[in-house]
Amino acid sequence: MLKGIPKIISPELLKVLCEMGHGDRLVIADGNFPSESVGKNAKVIRMDGHGTSEILDAILQLFPLDTYVEKPVNLMQLVPGDDVETPIWDEYHAIVEKNDARGKDAFGSIERFAFYEESRSAYAIIATGESALYANIMLQKGVVK
CA 28-131-35 angle, 5° bins: 40
* Helices 87-99, 52-59: inter-axial angle, 10-degree rounding: 10
**22 in active site:** yes
Per-residue pLDDT of the chain in tens (145 residues, 90 and over written 9): 789 999 999 999 999 999 999 999 999 999 999 999 999 999 999 999 999 999 999 999 999 999 999 999 999 999 999 999 999 999 999 999 999 999 999 999 999 999 999 999 999 999 999 999 999 999 999 999 8
CATH of 14-140, one of 1.10.260.30, 3.40.1800.10, 1.10.645.10, 3.40.1650.10: 3.40.1650.10
By the 8 A CB rule, do 125 and 38 touch? yes
Q: Which string of b and e fits 27-37 if b means at least 16 CB within 10 Å?
A: bbbbbebebee
pTM score, whole prediction: 0.96
**116 in active site:** yes
Domain ranges of the chain: 14-140
Q: Rounded to an integer, what distance in angstroms lies between the CA atom of residue 77 and that of residue 136?
A: 10
**93 in active site:** no
- Say which of 22, 68, 90, 105 is annotated catalytic: 22
- Say which of 24, 50, 100, 116 is annotated catalytic: 116
By the 8 A CB rule, do 96 and 73 touch? yes
- Say which of 30, 57, 66, 134 is annotated catalytic: 66
C-alpha distances out from residue 82 to 17, 44, 73, 135, Å: 34, 28, 22, 14
